[in-house]
């Protein structure tokens, strides 16, 4: 959109996405890595960033303060650089602190498109359901730790479509279940029932018949007839097996697991409502522990993103663990006069969540969290779940959501009991993947700044000529071998490497010539 309204420069966008830099420069400053300094040197050759390298060397204190800040994307750039366009600031940020790019881009989107594009609260399923019909099924794209069929079942209970009433057919696909699914769909279309087909990616051969069946069943069907399908996304484009016809007619819904403590905490609270909060006779104790449990759940789920720094192995914690734990909590509080802390911690840490865990150190970690987040003194408003985030007192359901929005400090590994530097690595990887994906999404014409005057072939030809120009001559092996009579291991390896380099150079030259002929 910004390219079309000429608000940003194509060349700048292309540089931000590709970030091609020569890694030949050694950083003169202790707070900048060599790769960051190389990026700054390369940027200083362009008009927009001329003098950036001199400026940083001239006033290192100001730049150091920004680079080493905890949230550099919220800081202002020193001197005249703070007047640069938003896109240029993104480029400078990618050079200085590549790990903060996900946050910087989020601010960029918020500034250009508005808040509703960055707030990740999920749409209510009932809303999506209103758009479906007998001919447009709902297709869930599964992601780890999220069970979308819960939404279907709870909506079904409200509208009177349940398994007990015989109006909901739930088929989990796998060997031999295709026939069951076909019978269910034929019956549902006649009588106006709902059908859930789980994991259709497991029955690749049957999907063609499913496509025809979906078309056939929705003709002259009962108006209440609905189909809900779920499948995992294919890891590689080559492995897409779901027929286009199914995808085109369906409403596709994906519930990605939330990222960040704020989104996770809201998502955990979203599993409950005012009625659940009011159900227990010991209201304050129940609510306080429930809130701690939600924080605990958000914490263990989100630690996964830190890789081995979070958990030694990957565990499929999901919302089921949380809802069952709350049921257990309710039963125990109703049955006991005192809060049975030991029992509760054992049930949550060793059975509900601990049941997933196979590593002793991870189990110890899980137990330690519960000892921190569930202790007898939390009813006197003393327990801090994160620095500056105290367990709230007795609030209503909406009050808890508002409390989280107001009081939760900004995202940091400290929320999960980790050192602030723990996120640098995984954020850098996330940012690189993000730019890689954005680059793949670019249309071929949008790349390169000369407008669409160059065709794709011309662009390839330009790059091809550049590479051929840079290509060195092959080593003259007879010259090199005659330079010395000595044949020590070191020298032999040198000769071998020269031969290999020759093979490589001649292959590069050969294939480029072939491509050139092809273009002609």
- pLDDT tier for residue 446 given thresholds of 50, 70 and 90: low
**Tens-digit pLDDT profile for residues 378-424:** 777 677 888 888 888 778 888 888 888 888 888 788 888 888 888 88
- In eight-state DSSP terms, residue 18 is H
Any long-range contacts for 241-247 (C-beta under 8 Å, 24+ apart)? 241/201, 241/204, 241/207, 242/200, 242/201, 242/207, 243/207, 243/208, 243/210, 243/211, 245/211, 245/215, 246/137, 246/139, 246/207, 246/210, 246/211, 246/214, 247/139
Residue 489, Cβ density class (10 Å: 0-12 exposed, 13-18 middle, ≥19 buried)? exposed
- pLDDT tier for residue 449 given thresholds of 50, 70 and 90: very low
**Tens-digit pLDDT profile for residues 229-265:** 988 888 777 778 888 888 888 888 887 777 788 888 8
Average of pLDDT values for 95-108? 88
Q: In 270-359, where does DSSP find H-type helix? A: 274-278, 283-302, 319-335, 341-346
**Tens-digit pLDDT profile for residues 3-47:** 888 888 888 888 888 888 877 888 888 888 888 888 888 888 888
> Quick one: pLDDT at residue 319?
82
> Quick one: pLDDT at residue 130?
85
Average of pLDDT values for 94-119? 87
> Quick one: pLDDT at residue 373?
85
Transcribe 215-240 into DSSP letters.
HHHHTT--TT-EEEEEEPPPSSGGG-
Angle (CA) 201 205 210, round 5°:
75
Q: Does pTM top 0.75 for this prediction? A: no
């Amino acid at each position: 959109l910004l390219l079309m309204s000429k608000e940003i420069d194509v060349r700048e966008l292309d540089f931000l996405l590709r970030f091609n830099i020569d890694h030949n420069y050694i950083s003169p400053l202790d707070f900048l890595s060599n790769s960051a300094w190389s990026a700054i040197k390369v940027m200083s050759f362009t008009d927009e960033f001329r003098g950036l390298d001199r400026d940083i060397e001239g006033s290192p204190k100001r730049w150091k303060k920004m680079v080493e800040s905890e949230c550099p994307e919220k800081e202002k750039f020193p001197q005249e650089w703070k007047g640069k366009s938003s896109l240029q600031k993104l480029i400078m940020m990618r050079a200085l602190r590549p790990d903060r790019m996900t946050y910087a881009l989020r601010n960029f989107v918020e500034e250009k498109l508005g808040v509703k594009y960055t707030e990740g609260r999920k749409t209510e399923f009932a809303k999506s359901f209103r758009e479906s019909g007998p001919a447009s099924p709902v297709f869930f794209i599964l992601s780890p730790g999220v069970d979308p069929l819960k939404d279907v079942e709870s909506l079904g209970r409200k509208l009177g479509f349940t398994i007990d009433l015989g109006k909901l057919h739930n088929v989990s696909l796998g060997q031999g279940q295709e026939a069951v699914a076909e019978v269910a769909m034929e019956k549902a279309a006649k009588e106006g029932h709902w059908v859930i087909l789980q994991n259709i990616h497991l029955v690749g051969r049957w999907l063609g018949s499913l496509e025809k069946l979906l078309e056939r069943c929705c003709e002259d069907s009962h108006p209440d007839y609905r189909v809900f399908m779920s499948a995992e996304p294919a890891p590689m484009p080559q492995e897409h097996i779901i027929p286009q016809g199914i995808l085109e007619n369906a409403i596709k819904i994906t519930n990605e697991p939330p990222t960040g403590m704020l989104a996770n905490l809201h998502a955990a609270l979203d599993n409950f409502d005012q009625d659940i909060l009011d159900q227990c006779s010991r209201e304050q104790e129940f609510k306080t522990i429930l809130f701690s449990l939600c924080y605990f759940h958000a914490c263990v789920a989100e630690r996964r993103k830190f890789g081995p720094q979070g958990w030694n192995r990957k565990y499929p914690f999901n919302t089921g663990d949380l809802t069952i734990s709350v049921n257990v909590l309710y039963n125990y509080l109703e049955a006991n006069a005192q809060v049975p802390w030991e029992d509760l911690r054992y049930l949550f840490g060793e059975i509900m969540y601990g049941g997933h865990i196979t590593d002793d150190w991870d189990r110890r970690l899980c137990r330690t969290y519960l000892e921190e987040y569930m202790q007898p003194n939390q009813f006197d408003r003393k327990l801090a779940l994160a620095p500056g985030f105290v367990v709230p007192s007795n609030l209503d359901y909406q009050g808890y959501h508002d409390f989280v929005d107001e009081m939760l400090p900004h995202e940091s590994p400290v929320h999960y009991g980790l050192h602030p530097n723990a996120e640098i690595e995984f954020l850098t990887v996330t940012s690189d993947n993000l730019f890689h994906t954005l680059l793949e999404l670019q249309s071929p014409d949008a790349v390169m700044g000369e407008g669409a005057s160059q065709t794709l072939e011309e662009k390839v030809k330009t790059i091809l000529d550049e590479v051929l120009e840079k290509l060195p001559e092959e080593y003259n092996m007879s010259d090199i071998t005659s330079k010395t009579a000595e044949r020590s291991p070191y020298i032999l390896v040198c000769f071998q490497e020269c031969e290999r380099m020759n093979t490589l150079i001649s292959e590069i030259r050969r294939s480029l010539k072939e491509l050139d002929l092809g273009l002609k």
